[in-house]
Structure 1
Amino acid sequence: MKVEVISYTRDCEKLIAAASKLTLSKKPFEEIWGSLSEDEIDTWIKETVIRWHFSPWEHCVYTFYIGGVSRVLTHQLVRHRIASYSQHSQRFKALHDIEFVVPDRINMSEEAKRLFLDTVDNARDAYHKLIEKGIPFEDARYVLPQAVTTKILVTMNARELMHFFSLRMCTRAQLEIRRLAWLMWRKVYELHPRLWKWAGPRCLQTENLIRRNPIEFPRVLEEAGVEFVSEKCPEGLPRESIVKCLRHSYHEVSK
């Protein structure tokens, strides 16, 4: 799996902070933008988290290149509708070097792995034979399994990306798309840490709704003694297990 940030809003953190302040200030935008200090940027970004006011995040946009993932993953990905997608075509372009994603749990069993590889190899051979017989690409592709790899360009605004992370970084998400979500989070966190330290699985976002002082996601992953005040997470996990679950997800996708 390969993930790259191709393009992004350069002044993302400042822009979101300025948009947040604009909603509550009498000052003209030019004055807000020109006088916004570094401390104020942190304050106003945090304010969006405290007030659950994420419309300012929509002004910030990221474009990702994603490659070496399965069609299973992209079927799940494109369900996030407030985004733009450009995916490699199987209809107008023949596939030559066809590769497949082998799920981890299949990889762990030699018998299951052999059955899987034999099946996808047969599908690959059938695809090429159909094309040799003059069958159009758009029809020959029907024989290919969902494990076939693909590449896709994805553009999302930061608010939609926050929503994507809330669902797909959770342990309830399938492992392949969960790996993708964590990789994407790391990429944007490296670019804009003051923004993306507030993003994470849904349990973090609902937790920050009820805390007097919201908690930063890297603290949850790294610091000892971090505790949630929520009685349970949105998936029903009890309070005492939430941090352990988050760290398990982090280590599982890091393998």
Structure 2
Amino acid sequence: MIDEKFTGNGKVLLLAGGGKIYTDLAARFVRSERALEDIAASPYSRRIVENILASGHRAALEFDFFLFGIEGYSRVTETQLVRKRLASYLIKSGRAELNGKRRFSVVYPREAAEFQAPVTLPDGREARLSGRDLAELTRQWYDAGLSAGLPEEDLRYLKPQATEFKAIIGMNAHALLDWFAIRCCRNAQHEIRDLAWKMLRLCRRAAPDLFAGAGPNCVQLGYCPENALQNARCKGRIMTKDEALALLREHGRHSPRREEFEKE
């Protein structure tokens, strides 16, 4: 039988990161004329970190790095995850020859696993199959291929996107804030949103000063930049970017005009 798991139950561990924070040291180095040894010996400054976050000058955040171990997520989420290129990924191999010892693990929504639909088999017979049935048939085909001596790197082409992936992920604090802004949003696909929120909770515990204001864009910006694409559950509760700009104009607080910059 297949090793079946359901979305929302993935595991995330913080393997490294937090404790000593280097963002304040990096920021102090840029502005201070003191000797490097003196800067390195300076006590940690929460105020400097808060100023960096408030100013939006996030380059110093790239000197704090966090390492996560994850399992129990599907290849669907892997595809979305690796779109964030400012990160390091080490993904458990699906190619290595394990002589049939590889677990045929799938992760999918319970509704998709249980949904049944009529299908026509190649020999013309009719059948009703669930998502779970399809995964089990693929497992049987895969095992038969192993027994026939086909290499696993070829057999895996027919594995479903529900196949579980396991990985080690490394991101610096700057990249994490950007990633949380997108993937903690209610518009994100539910499985990667689950991953993002679990990572964020770990980061908040490990480095609360760095991640106190972290979260989806609406938390970090104070408005939703999605505008017309705003999630239905947020409409009327969270101001959109267009609504925020309209409110500023109404109160006469316009953005600087181009001609004001051209005078310089």
Letter in 1 for 2:156: R
Q: Give the Cα–Cα distance (whole angstroms) in 2 for the partners of residues 29 and 103 of structure 1.
A: 53
Cα distance, 1:49 vs. partner?
A: 1.6
Contact persistence 2:181–2:214 (CA under 8 A):
yes
- Whole-angstrom distance in 2 between the partners of 1:188 and 1:90: 29
| Partner in structure 2 of residue 224 of structure 1 | none
1:205 and 2:220 aligned: yes
Give how far 1:25 is off: 2.9
After TM superposition, the score normalised by the length of structure 1 is 0.76
SS in 1 for 2:160: coil
TM-score by length of 2: 0.73
**Structure 2 unaligned regions, length at least 5:** 1-9, 118-128, 240-264
Please state which structure has a larger fraction of its residues in helix.
1
Q: Which amino acid aligns with 2:225?
A: P
Give the Cα–Cα distance (whole angstroms) in 1 for the partners of residues 108 and 235 of structure 2.
Answer: 34
- Cα separation, 2, equivalents of 1:163 and 1:53: 13
Q: Who is 1:252 aligned against?
A: none
Q: Is the 8 A contact 2:75 2:162 kept in 1?
A: yes
How many angstroms does 1:138 deviate by? 0.7
Partner SS state of residue 147, structure 1: coil
Pick from 182, 191, 206 the counterpart of residue 197 of structure 2: 182
CA contact (8 A) 1:60 1:157 kept: yes
Answer whether contact 1:5 1:187 (CA < 8 A) is retained.
yes
Q: 1:23 and 1:135, CA in 2 relative to 1: closer, same or farther beyond 3 A? A: same
Distance in 2 (CA, whole Å) between partners of 1:198 and 1:93 is: 45
What do residues 94-141 of structure 1 show as CA deviations (whole Å, max 9, x unaligned)? 46321211225536x6547x6110111111111111111111111111
CA distance in 2, matches of 1:71, 1:30: 47
Corresponding residue for residue 90 of structure 2: 86
Asked if structure 1 preserves the Cα contact closer than 8 Å seen for 2:18 and 2:203, the reply is no
Q: What's the Cα RMSD here?
A: 2.2
Given the alignment, which residue of 203, 220, 238 partners 1:242? 238
Match for residue 70 of structure 1 among 49, 74, 87: 74
- d(CA) in 2 for partners of 1:23 and 1:203? 30
> Partner of 2:147 in structure 1?
132
1:3 aligns with 2:9: no
Aligned pairs for 1:143-222 within 5 A: 143-207=158-222
User: How much has 1:240 moved relative to structure 2?
Assistant: 4.3
AA in 2 matched with 1:20: A
Q: Distance in 1 between matches of 2:165 and 2:87?
A: 18
Equivalence for 1:248: none
- Seq. identity, %: 33
Q: Which whole-Å deviations, capped at 9, do the CAs of 1:144-182 have from their partners, x for residues lacking one? A: 101011211111111111111111111111110100000
| Counterparts of 1:239 and 1:204, CA distance in 2 | 15
* Aligned equivalents of 1:105, 1:166: Cα separation in 2: 28
Query: What is the CA-CA distance between 1:188 and the residue it aligns to?
Result: 1.2
CA contact (8 A) 2:97 2:151 kept: no
1:48 counterpart (48, 52, 55): 52
Please tell me whether the aligned partners of residues 18 and 36 of structure 1 are also in contact (alpha carbons under 8 angstroms).
no
d(CA) in 1 for partners of 2:134 and 2:89? 30
- Give the Cα separation in 2 of the matches to 1:61 and 1:145: 33
Say if 1:4 and 1:65, in contact at 8 Å, map to a contact too.
yes
- TM superposition shift of 1:81: 1.0
Q: CA deviation at 1:9?
A: 5.4
Give yes or no for contact 1:126–1:143 (8 Å, CA) kept in 2.
no
Q: 5+ unaligned residues in a row in structure 1: which ranges?
A: 208-229, 244-255
Give the Cα separation in 2 of the matches to 1:110 and 1:156. Answer: 37
2: CA distance between counterparts of 1:2 and 1:103? 16
Which residue identity does 1:128 align to in structure 2? D
